[in-house]
Amino acid sequence: MVRLIRRELEALRERCAGRVITEQDVLYDSARAVWNGAVDRRPAAIVRCAGPGDVSAAVRFAREEELEISVRGGGHNFGGSAVTSGGLMLDLSALRRVRVDPGTRRAVCEGGATWADLDAATQAYGLATPGGTVSHTGVGGLTLGGGFGWLTRTHGLTADNLMSADVVLAGGQYVHASPGDHPDLFWALRGGGGNFGVVTGFTFRLHPVGPEVHVALLFWEIERGTEALAAAEETIAGLPRRAGVLTACGLTAPPLPFVPPEHRGRLGHALLIAGFGSAEEHAATAARAARALPPLFAFAEAMPYTRLQKLLDDSAPWGVHAYEKALDVTGIGPEAAATLNEHAARKTSPMSFVPSFRLDGAFSDMNDGATAYGGSRAPHHTLSFMALTPSPEALPAERAWSRAAWQAMLPHATGAGSYVNFQVEADADRVRRAYGRDKYARLAAVKAVYDPGNVFHLNANIRPS
């Protein structure tokens, strides 16, 4: 690890209003910790930024001292890209303020905000923008990679709803990116990841949502798994646009009140449907799913949108040891269902599962080239083979399970790009394939303008042309 001498550290502290943390500081271990407990890297210093000025000063300092830069927003990336080894970590976690203008239906949030922060502020006015499915995910990382969640079929990707961004560039300059200001940069930020700078502020378009929404969960045991996945596929095909859906493949039924005691710990598949229309419409949708194949147990409830956004938090607790592989499939037909069911049964950790996110509706309304999003806009499922364990000792076996399941499903993959936020092992070839030749070339040209030295490379990296 690069060791900064006292005078260099003092120079950095003089430039920054926020705290500068080194390995001698009692806060060091907690400051370098991120969501994935398997990530254990040691930065030379951590700047807990108090504002955009600190970000600019820290970037300039890192350039002067030839230190690698990492950026921590929510710290939720599977690969731990928020933490550099031996370089300078820019910690935005103190920058979480959100301002909402209900009249114009816009929200402005700082770069370290989480979805819990943004949802709480916007729901005070009955508004929301499409976010993730785990509330302690950072707004920044999710948005820059594209971002999808319960509202995506109704209102598109998170990036589709980004109206502008405030960015600190590789030279420390501060710019505003929007359709009218630096439009090339604005295009690249909506799906191109953290390749182009440090975003310290996001402005989002909001939509009327809730505050009460409708949720249904249907669970089928693994012994009927292939039939269950077929029933889920049939239900998804007939979903109204005002519904979000996730199929949790290989889910271990949790010890929660809505799960009958005799079924807790049972392995199977669950279909989760979030309805944003009427109660009657949602009830009809859930009933149609139950008719397709009667579930082992089911749950239906009206709840606040903010609770829906936290519904899966316990499935991905802070500090879990995690790994993932991901791919896209057009649909889950009989052969794909049989393969998925077979490999779901082979996991060894109760925490591991394969969430399948259906992307269509408003998501597919957007033209492929309108944003830098790395996947196809054609309707499809995105599958994430999530290996999750409470201890480091159990992770190698689950990592092998994730890789084997992913490999088995590859023959069913679309081959048309992929979601960069789900790329843990993002080597150069995979990143190029994720974006496709033309989109990657356009991103590389933007990178050459705004970060020609590839200062921001701890990400699904796009090399400057």
Question: pLDDT value at position 430?
Answer: 86
**Residues in the chain, overall count:** 465
| Residue 416 pLDDT exceeds 70 | no
Q: Distance of alpha carbon 30 from its chain centroid, rounded?
A: 22
Characterize the bridge pairing of strands 354-359 and 380-389.
Answer: antiparallel
Q: What is the tens place of the pLDDT at every residue in 60-99? A: 999 999 999 999 999 999 999 999 999 999 999 999 999 9
Q: Which residue bears the tokens 């030749």?
A: 437
**pLDDT tens, 292-329?**
999 999 999 999 999 999 999 999 999 999 999 999 99
Per-residue pLDDT reduced to its tens digit, 230-255: 999 999 999 999 999 999 999 999 99
Question: Cα–Cα distance between 224 and 375 in angstroms, integer?
Answer: 31
- What pLDDT does residue 424 have? 80
Write out the H or E segment, with its range, that includes residue 177: strand 174-177
The vertex-392 CA angle with 133 and 316, nearest 5°, equals 10
Q: Which residues contact 404 (CB under 8 A, 6 or more apart)?
A: 343, 346
Model pLDDT for residues 208-237, shown as the tens digit of each residue: 999 999 999 999 999 999 999 999 999 999
Sign of CA dihedral 135, 101, 97, 189: positive
Asked whether residue 417 carries a pLDDT value surpassing 70, the answer given is no
For residue 420, the model assigns a pLDDT of 86
What integer pLDDT is reported at residue 261 of this predicted model? 96
163 burial type by CB count under 10 A (0-12 exposed, 13-18 middle, 19+ buried): middle
pLDDT interval class at 426 (50, 70, 90): confident
Q: What is the pLDDT of residue 3?
A: 63
Say whether pLDDT at 4 is over 80.
Answer: no
- pLDDT of 204 reads 98
Contact 264, 249 (CB under 8 A): no
Q: For 322-374, how does the pLDDT look when each residue is reduced to its tens digit (9 = 90+)?
A: 999 999 999 999 999 999 999 999 999 999 999 999 999 999 999 999 999 99
| Domains contained in the chain, CATH given | 6-91 (3.30.43.10), 98-208+438-450 (3.30.465.10), 212-422 (3.40.462.20)
Average pLDDT for residues 439-447, to the nearest whole number?
A: 97
Q: What value does the mean pLDDT of the chain take?
A: 95
